[in-house]
Amino acid sequence: MAAKLTEADLAALRALDTPTVCNALEEIDAKFRDRGFTTEPLVCPFPHLPPIVGYARTASCRSINPGAKSGAASTEMRVNYYAYVNDGDEPKISVIQDLDGGGRGHGAFWGEVQSNVHKALGCLGVVTDGCIRDIPDWADGFQALAGSIKPSHAHVHAVDFGGQVMISGMIVNHGDLIHADQHGAVVIPLEVAREVPAAAARIAVKEKVILDIAKSPDFSFEKLRAAIAGPKDIH
């Protein structure tokens, strides 16, 4: 089992955007080139917020029909779910699959209340294929990636938590390390998490060769062609 990440480790990952993390994972092992990240577009109403990195708290919800539980049983489910989110290592990211929404959501689980409650429970943001609402009243600094923005919560209710979910093609299990920003999200395998910043730095050195030429007032195609013939795996 990989050693627990330190705050310094997490800070180094937060300093990178999500595309850079994806590139770094490819640099570490080619098997990560086609797995572990969101493959369908998600709405990010707060693109100005920095990347977030945290351990997944997973759940699934439905919203088209009323839930099977009501009254005390419904309240107990909600309390148990919040207890689950509250438990364990921080920082956390809520990852919720909407089973009814077809990847865009039907009724919003997320809004002013849930964003503030989850922030208080130690979450940095949410990644969901469901919908969200109450954007102007959203918890300050709480990031969101969602299937869509819609006005009603309909019959939304949590149906399970702590299990495997899939968000826009990304499979997530409880406790997975998630990196997310305005571009999307990616699971960082814990066993290679500490290697990511160094791998990103190696890629930056390769890319700088091309970027310096492209941005130069003395740009020429011949210089570009010579550079392309050099370092490989430039994105």
Same domain? 96 vs 175: yes
User: pTM score, two decimals?
Assistant: 0.93
Do the domain assignments include residue 11? no
Asked, for residue 55, whether it belongs to a domain, the answer is yes
Q: Is residue 5 part of a domain?
A: no
User: Domain total for the chain?
Assistant: 2
50 SS3 class = coil
β-bridge pairing 52-62 and 177-181:
antiparallel
Q: Is residue 67 part of a domain?
A: yes
Q: Is residue 15 part of a domain?
A: no
123 & 95 share domain: yes
Question: Domain span at residue 96?
Answer: 36-188
- pLDDT tens per residue, range 1-60: 577 899 999 999 999 999 999 999 999 999 999 999 999 999 999 999 999 999 999 999
220 and 157 in a single domain? The answer is no
Residue 81 has pLDDT above 70, yes or no: yes
In a domain, 235, yes or no: no
- Do 215 and 180 belong together in one domain? no
Average pLDDT for 58-74: 91
Q: Mean pLDDT over residues 85-91, rounded? A: 94
Split at pLDDT 50, 70, 90, the class of 68 is confident
Nearest 5 degrees, angle CA 83-CA 88-CA 93?
Answer: 85
C-beta of residue 132 within 8 angstroms of C-beta of residue 110: yes
Q: Which of 153, 133, 145 is nearest to 63 (CA)?
A: 153
- What is the structure's pLDDT at 27? 95
193-227 pLDDT, tens digit each: 999 999 999 999 989 999 999 999 999 999 999 88
